[in-house]
Structure 1
Amino acid sequence: MVRMSGVGVSSGRAAGPLVRVAEPLPDPPTTPTPADPDSEATRIRPAAEAVANHLFTRAAGAGSAGRTILETTAAMAMDPALISRAEQQVTEQALPAARAVLEAADTFADALREAGGYLSERIRDVRDVRDRIIAELLGVAPPGVPALEGPSVLLARDLAPADTADLDPELVLALVTEEGGPTSHTAILARSLGIPAVVAVRGILSVDNAVAAVVDGEAGTVEVSDRPVRIEAAEHVTDRAWNGIGTTADGMRVSVLANVGSVTDTQTAVEAAAQGVGLFRTEFCYLAASDEPDVDTQRSAYAEVLTAFTGKPVVVRTLDAGADKPLPFLDSGTEPNPALGVRGVRVSFERTAMLERQLEAIAAAAADSGAEVAVMAPMISTVSEAIWFVERARAAGIRRAGVMVEVPAAALSIREILGAVDFVSIGTNDLAQYVFAADRTLGALAELNDPWQPALLRMIATIGHAGEELGKPVGVCGEAAADPLLARVLVGLGVTSLSMVAASVPAVGSALAGHSLAVYRQAAEEALAAPDPARAREAVHAVLG
């Protein structure tokens, strides 16, 4: 066997035959020139509609998480701007329809790449939609996961969200990709389905005669074999093992919460018996709006989500937008490095009235729903910024106000910040990329964004210990919280609440009850002392078994 390493993003161990996901279609040629460009252009919209209809059909039979992704991809296929641009390429440049779709989509992808940050993570989605429309125009099968004849390990360069959205966990034993990173759609969905996954396994597609693999999602290793191996499926934690109360074996309470960003996410969180919401992303209310939604519109949208959590805690993040997450009505302009630009709470400094209207809507929705609502601001860097936000939340009548710790400067000022707020929540996805100066969307840098990196854990420990000493809650709402093993380390570092994709709630919640807080503190000390993520995992396994 050939042993290879990547970044484990969904825990579990599985083994079985390898099935390769087909590579994208070759670029369609620029010739022949269509005899009737106007007629050729009319082929594009029906092809896009056919792709969207197929995705909507798949969505109808998928679970809630998969359904959301498939419906979003279907909407992208019908994007009027994409279709119009492609039609224009045909009529003005006399390109064949398939080539026009390629060039139009690549223009959008280039713009997303230049924007960087959150938006660059959507490039894979655009290319997936592009390839599906091109395949429809050419009358060939679209790239993607082939029909599986039995339990298999899927191997791909990368997987689009629509590829993984309706995977059958009874047939898909594990996912392995050469590219991708810890915060990709593939990683998130693999965790939600309970499928082991390892990404950023560089060079794995070049291994000759690979017919089977053994995948360890916790260790981040893949053993590739040129001979068949015994089929082994990962063990799954059932919902019955989770009683809905997060606690260690010695009775310390740890809130096990869900991340939500839509009504669909809310339903999944309720089904998973989440104790509340640790991250309510409010961007859904703004994304399709050409103008800022008024207070009543926001109030109604937020209340629809909050009502499901009457009497339970919900932490609402105020608008996280900027040049890296542009909104039509913000006119953020072009920035050379959007991930380091005017984003998150920094937008509110320039548009304070917009923040005040959102806070008014959140306060009203909280009253309508009966949920125990708190608010937090994203991208806080200084103590004065934290004080500024808390003052406005209090003025809106919101009793509990906190901030996200995503910027290293905030972690270095954590004691002063905790003195000004009611709680903090660590966004490990952004914090990792800022700590390591490593774009989280680049597969080549995926190891640096591994949440098991000891340097990142040491920063979390600084925050957690400050929270313990000052008596202030410290949460984690990044994808790190969705790993049952790492979640217990985080508790040992002083974290008091964990918020994650809803489908991970049962596994994390039940895992917490396995040991006492003292054991988790011991495991955390071992992880902090490790030289790299792999040995941090090994050290924690040695303590927790």
Structure 2
Amino acid sequence: MSTHRAGLGVSPGVVAGPVARLAAPPRPPADEKPGDDPVAELARVDAALDQVARTLQERAQATSGDAADVLTATALMARDPSLHSSIQGLLEQGRPTVASLDSAIESVCDVLAGLGGYMAERAGDLRDVRNRALAVLLGLPMPGIPHPGHPFVLVGHDLSPADTATLDPAEVLAIVTEEGGPTSHTAILAKGLGVPAVVRCPSSRDLEDGTLVVVDGSTGSVIADPAPDLVTQALEQADARRRLTATGAGPGRTADGTAVALLVNIATIDDAHRAAALDCEGVGLFRTEGMYLGRHSAPTLEEQEAGYREVLTAFAGRKVVVRTLDAGADKPLAFVEHGDEENPALGVRGLRVSWRHPELLQTQLQALGRAAASTASDVWVMAPMVATPSEAADFVASARAAGLSVAGAMIEVPAAALRADRVLAEVDFVSIGTNDLAQYTFAADRMQGELAALLDPWQPALLDLIAAVGAAGERAHVPVGVCGEAAGDPLLACVLVGLGVRSLSMAPGLIATVRLVLAAHSLEECRAMAAAARDAVDGVTAREAVRALAGEAVRALI
């Protein structure tokens, strides 16, 4: 008999396939005895941690974007001097070697969990370091993705950065985890790979290897032992999706010809080269902090100019929207004194970092201006975390001084959305970051998985703020785009267009489906969808209301 499990859908698509579970992590032996020489045992632990760090760094170098950033940060955790000191102290107390490593890391994880938000999510990454180091010390197989020899649905407690960075979408049909949230690395990387994913599905823990499941990454539904007709329907839907999305090409537009630019999000130069080969209209979000993170000093003017020039050259003739440095909060810089903040997400982050360190923004704008002039590219630049019209005006003036003719602002703070008319009077364009806008609108930490329902981009209150910005854009004839996770949801894309949004930037693997669904609906139909979503009581009913308005072919697709 089929059984249903509910989770949070974070990457769209419907698939059917057998379960393959992540192996349980190794644990310290219950009968482990202390070593005779604490110095020698510490050397063993250091060697194991170094091996783990080198493996993670090699994987980071073999990938790019968000995966590379997370793997690099995790490798640094394995080499943390404070962790070495903690293990040394336990060994000198006469504790067993493997137990000392386990205990020291678990103590750090407890501290990270107590800090909440982004830091709490890093506890999972550190536990992955622990599990890999334990495997080395115990001579056990390294934990990671199973390889049963056939395509499968990957099921586990949660995925580590090393796991998600090496997923093969030809092998992994879908992902189902007990933990995670809408902005966890599992969700972000699954969307980038185009793999359906469901997170926060605690009842998935009893799914056994080989169990046939149907996974819906849009609704968060996981059905075990489904009826044959449901399997057939899922397989047909997946096949129809592949065939239909392969037929679309060219600029984005609605059924009646309203232009909607379909753009990609990138974070590295490697991302740029890969995305430039795709059928997209340019870059809607170039996250530049990748040039800064993991460094002990700021990148020089010349380094930045060279990097920007390479990205702009890859997209020659197409628009590239560059977001200036978005540091602070969950992305601290080693060479910037961020100070002690009770709540970093509400502290000095984004554009606010330039209040303390104006040279960072000035150098970045100067480098970008030089790169733009030497490539004759269509460069747009925007600042993150703009809260007031005066902040927007100051940023635009700085961009103009650096030779950048098109300057705008991110709308991520409710104050900016509520005063959109005033903000738009100061800029050439705006782009809405739905992830942070949802976080601040609902007072819900975007890294806190249990608050996922509040962070749902379908929430009507969030759509009301987007509508206010869209209407202000239409009145002022200022372009309004969306570059948050909402842009890659095909149905929600129609809603956003109905709210006045005219450019959508997303993970490259999502563009084909968004293009197809937009082309199936007129602007008036998109406006009707937007009205239905805003009239709903919550995110779930908003999505259901819009899905009911979509055509039958589209419902089968998504």
The two structures share one fold, judged by TM-score above 0.5: yes
- Residue 5 of structure 1 is matched in structure 2 by 6
User: Post-superposition shift, 1:467?
Assistant: 1.0
Alpha carbons of structure 1 residues 58 and 403: separation in structure 2 relative to 1, 3 Å? closer
Alpha carbons of structure 1 residues 76 and 352: separation in structure 2 relative to 1, 3 Å? closer
- Residue 554 of structure 2 is matched in structure 1 by none
2:379 is aligned with 1:373 = yes
Which letter does structure 1 place at the counterpart of 2:37? D
2:306 is aligned with 1:305 = no
Q: 1:419 aligns with which of 425, 446, 454?
A: 425
User: Post-superposition shift, 1:526?
Assistant: 1.5
User: Post-superposition shift, 1:190?
Assistant: 1.8
Alpha carbons of structure 1 residues 252 and 128: separation in structure 2 relative to 1, 3 Å? same
- Residue 322 of structure 1 is matched in structure 2 by 328
**TM-score normalised according to structure 1 size:** 0.90
Alpha carbons of structure 1 residues 23 and 354: separation in structure 2 relative to 1, 3 Å? same
Aligned 1:206-225 pairs, distance under 5 A: 211-225=211-225
2 CA distance for matches of 1:524 and 1:188? 25
1:90-109 Cα distance to aligned partner (Å, 9 max, x none): 66555544344435544654
Aligned residue for 2:166, secondary structure, equals: coil
Alpha carbons of structure 1 residues 241 and 121: separation in structure 2 relative to 1, 3 Å? farther
Instruction: Say whether the 8 Å CA contact 2:265–2:506 is kept in structure 1.
Output: yes
Alpha carbons of structure 1 residues 498 and 100: separation in structure 2 relative to 1, 3 Å? farther
101-110 vs 521-530, greater mean Cα deviation: 101-110
Q: 1:248 aligns with which of 247, 254, 270?
A: 254
1:142-192 Cα distance to aligned partner (Å, 9 max, x none): 333322243332222211232233333344332212211111121122222
143-152 vs 220-229, greater mean Cα deviation: 220-229
Alpha carbons of structure 1 residues 364 and 110: separation in structure 2 relative to 1, 3 Å? farther
- Residue 518 of structure 1 is matched in structure 2 by 524
Aligned residue for 2:130, secondary structure, equals: helix
Which letter does structure 2 place at the counterpart of 1:198? V
Which letter does structure 1 place at the counterpart of 2:288? T
- Residue 44 of structure 1 is matched in structure 2 by 45
1 CA distance for matches of 2:31 and 2:392? 54
1:412-441 Cα distance to aligned partner (Å, 9 max, x none): 111110111111111111111111111121
User: Post-superposition shift, 1:509?
Assistant: 2.7
Which letter does structure 2 place at the counterpart of 1:13? V
- Residue 438 of structure 1 is matched in structure 2 by 444
- Residue 184 of structure 2 is matched in structure 1 by 184
**TM-score normalised according to structure 2 size:** 0.88
- Residue 384 of structure 1 is matched in structure 2 by 390
Instruction: Say whether the 8 Å CA contact 1:55–1:73 is kept in structure 2.
Output: no
User: Post-superposition shift, 1:210?
Assistant: 10
Instruction: Say whether the 8 Å CA contact 2:261–2:281 is kept in structure 1.
Output: yes
2:471 is aligned with 1:465 = yes
1:202-228 Cα distance to aligned partner (Å, 9 max, x none): 444257999333222222222234989
- Residue 492 of structure 2 is matched in structure 1 by 486
User: Post-superposition shift, 1:365?
Assistant: 1.7
383-392 vs 504-513, greater mean Cα deviation: 504-513
2 CA distance for matches of 1:448 and 1:399? 38
- Residue 344 of structure 2 is matched in structure 1 by 338
Q: 1:359 aligns with which of 362, 365, 386?
A: 365
1 CA distance for matches of 2:114 and 2:134? 24
Instruction: Say whether the 8 Å CA contact 2:19–2:209 is kept in structure 1.
Output: no
- Residue 350 of structure 1 is matched in structure 2 by 356
Instruction: Say whether the 8 Å CA contact 2:15–2:216 is kept in structure 1.
Output: yes
1:450-484 Cα distance to aligned partner (Å, 9 max, x none): 11222212221111121112111111111111222
Alpha carbons of structure 1 residues 68 and 504: separation in structure 2 relative to 1, 3 Å? farther
**Structure 1: where are the runs of 5+ without partners?**
none
- Residue 72 of structure 2 is matched in structure 1 by 72
Identity of aligned residues (%): 50
Instruction: Say whether the 8 Å CA contact 1:69–1:162 is kept in structure 2.
Output: no
- Residue 276 of structure 1 is matched in structure 2 by 282
Alpha carbons of structure 1 residues 260 and 209: separation in structure 2 relative to 1, 3 Å? closer
Which letter does structure 2 place at the counterpart of 1:179? E
2 CA distance for matches of 1:210 and 1:534? 31
User: Post-superposition shift, 1:338?
Assistant: 0.8
Which letter does structure 1 place at the counterpart of 2:305? R
2 CA distance for matches of 1:320 and 1:25? 38
Aligned residue for 1:148, secondary structure, equals: coil
Aligned residue for 2:179, secondary structure, equals: coil
Which letter does structure 1 place at the counterpart of 2:173? L
1:473-522 Cα distance to aligned partner (Å, 9 max, x none): 11111111122222222111111111112222233233322222121111
Alpha carbons of structure 1 residues 477 and 454: separation in structure 2 relative to 1, 3 Å? same
- Residue 19 of structure 1 is matched in structure 2 by 20
Instruction: Say whether the 8 Å CA contact 1:38–1:90 is kept in structure 2.
Output: no
Which letter does structure 2 place at the counterpart of 1:186? T
User: Post-superposition shift, 1:76?
Assistant: 4.1
Instruction: Say whether the 8 Å CA contact 1:265–1:502 is kept in structure 2.
Output: no
User: Post-superposition shift, 1:56?
Assistant: 6.7
Tell me how many residue pairs correspond in the alignment.
Answer: 544
Instruction: Say whether the 8 Å CA contact 1:64–1:268 is kept in structure 2.
Output: no
1 CA distance for matches of 2:182 and 2:348? 25
2:521 is aligned with 1:495 = no
1 CA distance for matches of 2:106 and 2:305? 37
Aligned residue for 2:425, secondary structure, equals: helix
